[in-house]
A and B are shown apart, each in its own frame.
Chain A
Amino acid sequence: MTRKQKRMTMILGGLAVLGIAAGIMLYALSGTITFFYTPSEITEEKVSPGQRLRLGGLVEEGSWIRGEGTMSTFVVTDTIKTIKVTYNGQLPDLFREGQGVVAEGIIDGGGTFVADTVLAKHDENYMPKELADSLKEKGVWNEGAKTQ
């Protein structure tokens, strides 16, 4: 092979690898991403039951009920609409009523959100980005307000 041919082989090989990788990435992106909704977006956009999604909002005061064993139910609100969430598992340390929370899971036929993962803010200043944004849009939360 001449110098030029060798170089072409390599470049083509590289492009082939890149192409395959790009294909895998696109496939993975279309299959694995989860959309983020607030309770009012869920009611507005008619999310179909069974679709995996992330739900973000504040845990409504007085709504957290511990069930049998490690079951818990609580209500997530964006101060406009609310949605009931059930979760079987251990809630994070910083899960509190009135605080921000993000739950991942599906909506069942009855309109209840069945979560398999619940994230609470990691520290005093942490608020999931998506949640902060949508709460800001609705004018109920701002970065400046850190009451401690």
Chain B
Amino acid sequence: MIWIVFALMTAAVIAVLVLPVVRARPQAPDLDRNAFDRAVFRDQLAELERDVERGTIGAAEADAARNEISRRLIAASAMPAKSHPARTPFLALLAALIIPAVALPLYLRAGSPLLPDVPLATRLEKAAETGDYEALIVKVEQHLALNPDDVEGWKVLAPAYRRGMRWADTAEAMRNVVRLSAPDAGILADYGEAMVMANQGLVSAEAHDVFAKALALDAKLPKARFFDALALKQEGKAAEAKAAFDAFLAETPSDAPWRPMLVAEMQDMSSKPPGIDEQAMKDAASMSQEDQQAMIRSMVDGLEEKLKADGSDLDGWLRLIRARGVLGEGGKAKLAYDTAKTRFKDNPQAIAALDGLAKEMNIQ
């Protein structure tokens, strides 16, 4: 289809150029070149007469000018007209064929003939049919910008952000869901979790509040219990945290998916006091770290994949290094740090940020 359009365009161009030559009658004797000069001189004389009439030029000056122009007019006498060569339709056609000869290779080199236009409006309109995930998100966003109180919209948007690991956006969307729904422990816990993720794993006081509210509604909700305990641990309340973890663990079925993470957190805590068998601790620690890694592997690996594809996102690198460091994967953290450093070797600010993080995370 598009090639037909291109062919028509090219054909039209060549036809417009060549047809007049083909159809040209035997050429009439043309004006000699001096005729154009004579036209100018005659006009100058007429202009001079107008000036004289208007009185804007003195008589003597006018005479001098008239003499000079007349002299030039006479000098520009008719030249013999040139003889005319024969018509040259084939030459014209041949020359016109240069055009596709130049255009085609250039277009093949740079063009994308098969790509359709993607106007934003149409793309959004057809998002549902084409399963265009990004466009769907934008569509819901646009809808919510106009109807910020549509809880269903926020409920759709939050998991979509979550899938794209846009944690701050997830937290914001969940905040709206909380705002617009009846109090619900599950929703509160999801909101709190998004806040924690947006905050790089730290449970802020605000998030802790949210988990507390969730627990007030449903004291047995695993997610809320876990983060509540984690918050206590991060706040340095070791005894309370241990109590909470212990209680939680006691009620956790052995096949619960969150159990390894829970165990890991507990071992991380209990590894601190001295007096425990070093080897056992190390084993447990390394094992638990593997578990922990398994928990978040999909997330961190996803990030790494993304950065492999497009490494220009400095924040992404910083998050990756931090995540690897927190997971205790010193080697991988170092690897990410080195890769990022090479990637941003020409950017002093980026290097400074990377070095700062490395120092903080104790990466050499």
Q: Which residues of A contact B (CB under 8 A)?
A: 58, 61, 79, 98, 135, 139-142, 144-145, 147
**CA gap between A139 and B347 in the complex, in Å:** 9
Q: In the assembled complex, which residues on chain A have CB atoms less than 8 Å from the CB atom of B217?
A: none
Does A79 lie within 8 Å of B314, measured CB to CB?
no
- The A interface is mostly helix, strand or loop, or mixed, namely loop
The residue of chain A having its C-beta at the shortest distance from the C-beta of B348 within the complex is A140
A79-B346 in contact given A147-B312, A147-B314 (Cβ < 8 Å): no
Does A144 lie within 8 Å of B346, measured CB to CB?
yes
5 A-B residue pairs with CB within 8 Å: A98-B352, A140-B346, A141-B346, A141-B347, A142-B346
Q: Which of B44-80 contact A (CB under 8 A)?
A: none
**CA gap between A140 and B348 in the complex, in Å:** 6
Total number of A-B contacts with CB less than 8 angstroms?
Answer: 26
Does B348 lie within 8 Å of A147, measured CB to CB?
no
Q: Which of B314-360 contact A (CB under 8 A)?
A: 314, 344, 346-350, 352
| 10 more CB-based (< 8 A) A-B contacts, given A141-B347, A145-B344 | A79-B348, A98-B348, A140-B346, A140-B348, A141-B346, A141-B348, A142-B346, A144-B346, A145-B346, A147-B314
The residue of chain B having its C-beta at the shortest distance from the C-beta of A143 within the complex is B346
The residue of chain A having its C-beta at the shortest distance from the C-beta of B343 within the complex is A145
**CA gap between A6 and B52 in the complex, in Å:** 31
Does B349 lie within 8 Å of A98, measured CB to CB?
yes
Which of B312, B346, B350, B352 neighbours the largest number of chain A CB atoms within 10 Å of its CB? Answer: B346
Does B352 lie within 8 Å of A145, measured CB to CB?
no
Q: How far, in Å, is B23 (CB) from chain A's closest CB?
A: 53
* Size bracket of the B interface: under 10
Q: How far, in Å, is B232 (CB) from chain A's closest CB?
A: 35
**CA gap between A135 and B344 in the complex, in Å:** 15
Does A58 lie within 8 Å of B348, measured CB to CB?
yes
**CA gap between A130 and B344 in the complex, in Å:** 22
Q: In the assembled complex, which residues on chain A have CB atoms less than 8 Å from the CB atom of B314?
A: 147
Does B346 lie within 8 Å of A61, measured CB to CB?
no
Q: How far, in Å, is B88 (CB) from chain A's closest CB?
A: 46
Q: How far, in Å, is B313 (CB) from chain A's closest CB?
A: 9
Q: In the assembled complex, which residues on chain A have CB atoms less than 8 Å from the CB atom of B347?
A: 141-142, 145, 147
**CA gap between A145 and B346 in the complex, in Å:** 6
**CA gap between A25 and B186 in the complex, in Å:** 79
The residue of chain A having its C-beta at the shortest distance from the C-beta of B356 within the complex is A61
Q: In the assembled complex, which residues on chain A have CB atoms less than 8 Å from the CB atom of B349?
A: 98, 147
**CA gap between A145 and B349 in the complex, in Å:** 10
Which of A61, A135, A141, A147 neighbours the largest number of chain B CB atoms within 10 Å of its CB? Answer: A147
Q: Which of B300-314 contact A (CB under 8 A)?
A: 312, 314
Does B352 lie within 8 Å of A61, measured CB to CB?
yes
Q: In the assembled complex, which residues on chain A have CB atoms less than 8 Å from the CB atom of B346?
A: 139-142, 144-145
Q: In the assembled complex, which residues on chain A have CB atoms less than 8 Å from the CB atom of B348?
A: 58, 79, 98, 135, 140-141
**CA gap between A140 and B347 in the complex, in Å:** 6
**CA gap between A79 and B352 in the complex, in Å:** 11
The residue of chain A having its C-beta at the shortest distance from the C-beta of B347 within the complex is A145
Q: In the assembled complex, which residues on chain A have CB atoms less than 8 Å from the CB atom of B344?
A: 145, 147
Closest 5 CB pairs of A and B: A142-B346, A145-B347, A145-B346, A140-B348, A98-B349
Q: In the assembled complex, which residues on chain B have CB atoms less than 8 Å from the CB atom of A61?
A: 352
**CA gap between A142 and B349 in the complex, in Å:** 12
Contact of B350 among A58, A135, A139, A145 (CB under 8 A): A145
**CA gap between A116 and B121 in the complex, in Å:** 51
**CA gap between A147 and B348 in the complex, in Å:** 11
Q: In the assembled complex, which residues on chain B have CB atoms less than 8 Å from the CB atom of A58?
A: 348
Does A147 lie within 8 Å of B352, measured CB to CB?
no
Q: In the assembled complex, which residues on chain A have CB atoms less than 8 Å from the CB atom of B350?
A: 145, 147
Q: How far, in Å, is A143 (CB) from chain B's closest CB?
A: 8
The residue of chain A having its C-beta at the shortest distance from the C-beta of B350 within the complex is A147
Q: How far, in Å, is B319 (CB) from chain A's closest CB?
A: 15
Q: How far, in Å, is B222 (CB) from chain A's closest CB?
A: 40
Which of A141, A142, A145 neighbours the largest number of chain B CB atoms within 10 Å of its CB? Answer: A145
Q: In the assembled complex, which residues on chain A have CB atoms less than 8 Å from the CB atom of B312?
A: 147
Q: In the assembled complex, which residues on chain B have CB atoms less than 8 Å from the CB atom of A147?
A: 312, 314, 344, 347, 349-350
**CA gap between A45 and B43 in the complex, in Å:** 70
Q: In the assembled complex, which residues on chain B have CB atoms less than 8 Å from the CB atom of A145?
A: 344, 346-347, 350
**CA gap between A58 and B348 in the complex, in Å:** 9
